[in-house]
Structure 1
């Protein structure tokens, strides 16, 4: 009995250890996919904290006179990480639009919508990026 319990424990440990890298590989692939798409559309196309007047800034893509939060667009690494977390959760996790279903399929337009929804969840409007012109009107 002791032998079979030891064997069973060893087998379960080996299975759990071998499962861990697969999950990290999937996450790394999604992170790479999100990063590659982000780079392929030129990143945000806007710099954060331009013309800061009391925490309100400008964007060349905002309507004339409109201002955006100076923290927008967010840090690239934080944005990509948030997209990955949202996709893994299947929905926007927090902020504006929390609960909005989210995936990252192969279609560029759907990927842009995932980016837009994540950006809005990070409390940044689409006009804090150059992406509005890339989305269908």
Structure 2
């Protein structure tokens, strides 16, 4: 029943996209809640997208790493509040992440600590799976972890307040969940055999190892341990699909090398020198980071924290 509700309300909102925003905000969309009520009950990101861009598709995140510097996240993260709330509403209606159905979620409306933490969990699941299974924004692009920790410790005022649910009514509209982002690299994996006179095998040999595996210590929210520890000494969480398979990554990098820029983010240039000088090794790592972070679209890929590339880069630069 939940699945049919999620489908129907998504379709209805798609057909009423031209309706005034205020009307959409007041329509019941999921579990008897309006978009405005879901928004009021959902914690704020605590950070903005596009902060201090590095020129590689990455920007500063909301959380500092072990080196005291902000952890880099895709510049598109966190997403716009409106698209995020619409995705969350679709997930609430379905009772699970629409793009990752094995991950269930709930969105209780009372103001108990347990319910506030459940809403943080639902928000985090939505964030990390907004564009596909494990394809979204890393938690480090928000202050969700710090806010949840404060709630657990009893040191924070409630950041998400209780909203009175309206009388029971059949859902009439919701925002359609964002379309899954197709992986360009995977779709054309067999189409690139060389770039700039280099074979795939040569590109692979010249490209640094990612230094970590995907799917380590899954949390059940679509996140797993990354390769880098945060300020608390614990691994920074990354989508469980990160880092990508080596062959998919190398194919994507080869496409970028052939184009001279990130295929999925053309404003970011890429070069791939083949000599063994320090500057050329640094350039190859930087190109690898660009390919990693733009694998599925502009700023939509895997965070640097899912690999040891940043540490390898720092070792060369230091």
TM-score, length basis structure 2: 0.32
**Which of 54, 58, 61 is the equivalent residue of 1:59?**
61
Corresponding position of 1:133: 146
Corresponding position of 1:37: 41
1:23-76 CA deviation, whole Å, 9 max, x = no partner? x953172422211123xx4x2111101111221111232423521011100000
Rounded to whole Å, the distance in 2 between the matches of 1:31 and 1:78 is 11
Is 1:108 the counterpart of 2:121? The answer is no
Rounded to whole Å, the distance in 2 between the matches of 1:114 and 1:131 is 11
* Structure 2, unaligned runs of 5 or more: 1-11, 13-25, 110-114, 131-135, 153-318
**Larger strand proportion, structure 1 or 2?**
2
Rounded to whole Å, the distance in 2 between the matches of 1:79 and 1:47 is 13
Corresponding position of 2:77: 72
Q: CA RMSD in A?
A: 2.2
| 1:52–1:45 distance in 2 versus 1, CA, 3 Å | same
**Larger helix proportion, structure 1 or 2?**
1
1:59-98 CA deviation, whole Å, 9 max, x = no partner? 232423521011100000000000000111111112xxx1
* Structure 1, unaligned runs of 5 or more: 1-19
Rounded to whole Å, the distance in 2 between the matches of 1:134 and 1:66 is 17
Aligned length: 109
Structure 1 residues 20-35: aligned runs within 5 Å: 25-27=27-29, 29-35=33-39
TM-score, length basis structure 1: 0.70
